[in-house]
Amino acid sequence: MTEYGRERERRRRTSALVGLFFLAALSASLAFKVGRVPAAAVPVSFLVLVYVLFTFVVWRDRRAEVRRRASGAAPSWSAQLPVSAALELGAKAPGRHSRQQEVGELLGRLSLAEGGLRWEPRKGDRNRGVGPVAWDRSWTPEVVSLWGPGSQGCLTLTRSDGMAVDLWIRHPADLRRALGSAEP
């Protein structure tokens, strides 16, 4: 994982821990006012609601991928490409991203096709002129599963000259299996 990737993962982990701390502090203050049982019920019901909504979104994404693969499309994964990496690799960035250094990511899909990996931007970015980015076999992939919910991971592609690009992906174990079976 590149330095950018480690920093992004640190921010993600920190924000998750701050959220949990806030929920614990809210529960403690609520316990002083209304009692322990209602105070425990509020965060538990909130966590259950978040889990149900999150599961619905992940389930919908997984079902869409199953339909794509059943129709004969190449395997693909939801992926976020950093704007800075997209600009280095020659992809045009939309709007203000093309005029300044930006730390955001472009949403899209990573697919395994034609002997390499190909990232396609989402439809809205495609309409604004963002093009695809492709990596051939000269790039070495490394897939790392990340801590936290959502089956998220980081795919680091490294070129022989040392240039590295991080892509944030869903279902890293599936990608690791697909990359392992695609080796010559």
- The DSSP line for 50-86 is HHHHHHHHHHHHHHHHHHHHHTTPPPEEEEEEEHHHH
Name residues whose C-beta falls within 8 Å of residue 5's C-beta, 6 or more positions apart in sequence: 154, 156, 166
Which residues are within 8 A (CB) of 138 and not within 5 positions of it... i.e. 6 or more apart?
A: 159, 160
Beta bridge partner(s), residue 107:
80
Paired tokens of 78: 């939801």
pLDDT value at position 17?
Answer: 83
Mean pLDDT of 138-149: 81
Query: Cα angle at 181 between 177 and 183, to 5 degrees?
Result: 120
The alpha carbon of 149 is separated from its chain's Cα centroid by a whole number of angstroms, namely: 11
* CATH number at 74-181: 2.30.29.30
**Residue 87's pLDDT band (cuts 50, 70, 90):** confident
pLDDT band at residue 136 under the 50/70/90 scheme? confident
Q: At what angle do helices 36-70 and 3-34 cross, to 10 degrees?
A: 140
- Per-residue pLDDT of 39-58, as tens digits, reads 777 778 888 888 887 777 76
Question: Do residues 84 and 103 touch, judged by C-beta distance below 8 A?
Answer: yes
Q: Which helix (H) or strand (E) holds 94?
A: none
Q: Is the pLDDT of residue 19 over 80?
A: yes
| Interacting residues of 10 by C-beta distance below 8 A, sequence separation 6+ | none
Mean pLDDT of 25-33: 78
Q: What is the pLDDT of residue 184?
A: 46
Percentage of residues of the chain with pLDDT beyond 90: 0
Specify the pTM: 0.67
Ranges of each domain in the chain: 3-67, 74-181
Pairwise CA distance, residues 95 & 99, whole Å: 8
| Average pLDDT value over all residues in the chain | 79
